[in-house]
Every structure is written in structure tokens, then in C-alpha cells.
Amino acid sequence: MRTVSDQETDYDTLCAIRNQMFPDMLVSVASTRYHDEVRPEGLLHQRFEARRGGKIVAFASVSESDWCLEPGRVAVDWWALHPEDEPAICDYVLGWARAQGATIITYATREDCPARVALIEARGFSTCLRAPISVLDVEAFVPEPWVLAMERVRARGVEILTADALESRFPDWQRRLWTLSGHVEEDMPRPEGAGLTWPPFEQWLRYIQGPQWCPEGCFVAVDGGEFVGLSALELRLADPKKLHTTITGVERSHRRRGICTALKLHAIDFAARRGAVEIDTDNEENNPMYAINMRLGFTPRPAYLIFIRRY
């Protein structure tokens, strides 16, 4: 194992190893590199690579997140070609994190990876959040039963606009969208003890404006000139026939009016017109948004599990 900087990282190999582990959710070099480029300065972030016979066989990382910034809290991760290498890699990054003063360590994997679940549990970690992945077969979706739901929202005077259509009507649309997104995120279930530290406006802009940003797939509900809800799709650059829902939610003042469902229906229609075959997302299992997805015909897949250990 050796430390590597972002500049030294072999992104082609990193993504190839990551995609071998999760072939149903491919990541691209462009989006992975961009995520590193826009990371705020001053946050702990260290990547490691493991080589055998001169060949890279694994990557790992220890990172702070500005979305959940708390002294001593870090997330660890690793991606390996050979499962038998994972215990040693896990112990290495946990030891490195502890040496830097980490007192709260989290790790995320999927429940269809029983060896990784057993590995992290054997080191004293416990599950603090379960978020099922759900997937919609866009080609099989039948919109007709949902026409009335769309009409009800329109009858209440709520418009559904795309992000690229907002610019001509609302000069401050980006700042409004930042505020709305923060309100939606505040109400999302989070891992145990994890508070939300919402990024400053300029940093948030850098996050969303990456190569995966899809303004024509970002839908905003507007009521009387106020932004009251949104649902945003992003591109899966490594798998152009798939789209990913990053966020969906409505201001507390406008919930239970069918707006969330209308936003999702607009997103599904966009995906169909674009020729996408699949939309995937994930929601904490008790989040009402998960139930809405199920009603729309999304089917559950193995969940993400977030593990935590406090030292």
C-alpha cells in the first residue's frame, strides 16, 4: 500500500476496479475526476493504492465530507480486484484513520456484499442506515393512470419547470435552487448523529455543474413565483442509457399536495423521451419518498448499508 495524490491517481484503473465490484452501477473517469477537482481545500482526503507485481490491484480512501463535517468523523472506502485482499486493506485504512485522530468512522457497502458486511462487522462496526436502491424500467412505465395526478397539481397553479427554463424567468434561480435543495436535504434521514453541513453557494454550484449535470432533467415546482419542490436526474456517463435521481423533495409548506409525484412523472417522461431504459435512485427505507417510488413502479434492489464505529 502507498499513498497517492489526486494528481497521481490512475483514474482509468480506479474506475475499472470499482466497476468490477458494482457492474450494475458504472462510474466514469470524468465524474470521478471532477469530484476530486471540486473537493474543498482543507478537508482530510487521502487515497491509497495497492500494487502486486507492479500492477494496481486495489484502491482505498479516507475522507472528511463537507456535507457532514464534524471533528474526528471520516469515511473509509476501498475497491479491490481480489476479495482476499480486502481484510488487509480494511485494517490498513482503519489504522491510518485512527492515527490521524479519527474517532467516528463510517463505511458504506451494499447488502448483496455479505463478505464486506461480515468484514466490517467483525471490526466492531454496526449498521446506522439502510437505503434500498430502487430502479424503474422506463420502457415498461405506463403514464396514463397518472394523468389525473398531474392535472390536480396544475389546477392548483403549480408549474413544473426545468432548470434550463428557469434562467429566463428568475435571474437568481441558482441561489433559489441552492436554498430549496438545502431545505429538502435537512429533512432527509441521515446516519446516526450525522448533522447536515450545507455547502456554501459557490461550492454547491461547483458540485452540481460537473459533467453529469443535466439541466433539462432537473425539474422544479414553482408556486406563485416560489420554488417549492424539485427532482433532479443526472447522467450516468459510463452507462448512457441510465439516469440517476440525486434528490427529490418538497418544502414542508407544500407537502401532501401531489407535487412530489408530479415532479417524478416529469422526470420519467424526460427519461423516456431521451431514450433511457432505466432510472435508479436510493432512499432511506423509512423515507416517504421510497413509498412514492414503489407506487410509481420502481422495484427494490439490494440496499446500501452505512456502518459506523465510535472510538
Name the pairing type of β-strands 278-282 and 242-250: parallel
Closest CA to 139 of 263, 24, 274: 274
Asked whether the beta carbons of 72 and 103 are under 8 A apart, the reply is yes
Band of residue 190 on the pLDDT scale cut at 50, 70, 90: confident
Q: What per-residue string of b and e applies to 90-128 under the rule 16 or more CB within 10 Å gives b?
A: bebbbebbeeeebebbbbbbbbebeebbebbeeeebebb
Asked whether the beta carbons of 228 and 262 are under 8 A apart, the reply is no
Domains 2-102 and 134-303 share a fold: yes
pLDDT computed for residue 16 by the predictor: 97
pLDDT computed for residue 12 by the predictor: 98
- Mean pLDDT along residues 100-123: 97
What's the angle, vertex CA 17, arms to CA 95 and CA 240, rounded to 5? 130
- Mean pLDDT along residues 270-286: 96
- Mean pLDDT along residues 272-281: 97
pLDDT greater than 90 at residue 229: yes
Mean pLDDT score across all residues of the chain? 95
pLDDT, tens digit, 9 for 90 and up, residues 69-107: 999 999 999 999 999 999 999 999 999 999 999 999 999
pLDDT > 90: percent of the chain: 94
Band of residue 194 on the pLDDT scale cut at 50, 70, 90: confident
Beta-bridge partner residues of 62:
46, 76
pLDDT > 70: percent of the chain: 100
Query: Which residue's entry shows cell 430502479?
Result: 135
pLDDT computed for residue 226 by the predictor: 97
Fold observed for domain 134-303: Aminopeptidase (3.40.630)
pLDDT greater than 80 at residue 58: yes
Beta-bridge partner residues of 305:
109, 130
CATH number of 2-102: 3.40.630.30
Asked whether the beta carbons of 137 and 290 are under 8 A apart, the reply is no
Cβ–Cβ contacts within 10 Å for residue 13, how many? 17
- Residue 200 DSSP code: P
Query: Taken in order 126, 90, 237, 182, is the CA torsion positive or negative?
Result: positive
pLDDT computed for residue 274 by the predictor: 96
Order across the sheet with 226-235: list the strands. 2-4, 45-52, 55-63, 73-80, 104-110, 299-310, 126-137, 278-282, 242-250, 226-235, 218-223, 158-162
pLDDT greater than 90 at residue 189: no
CB under 8 Å to 265, separation ≥6 — which residues? 143, 146, 149, 150, 296
Query: Which residue's entry shows cell 492515527?
Result: 99
Give me the residue spans of the domains in the chain: 2-102, 134-303
pLDDT computed for residue 183 by the predictor: 96
Band of residue 191 on the pLDDT scale cut at 50, 70, 90: confident
Asked whether the beta carbons of 113 and 307 are under 8 A apart, the reply is no
Tell me how far apart the alpha carbons of residues 158 and 266 are, in angstroms, rounded to a whole number.
13
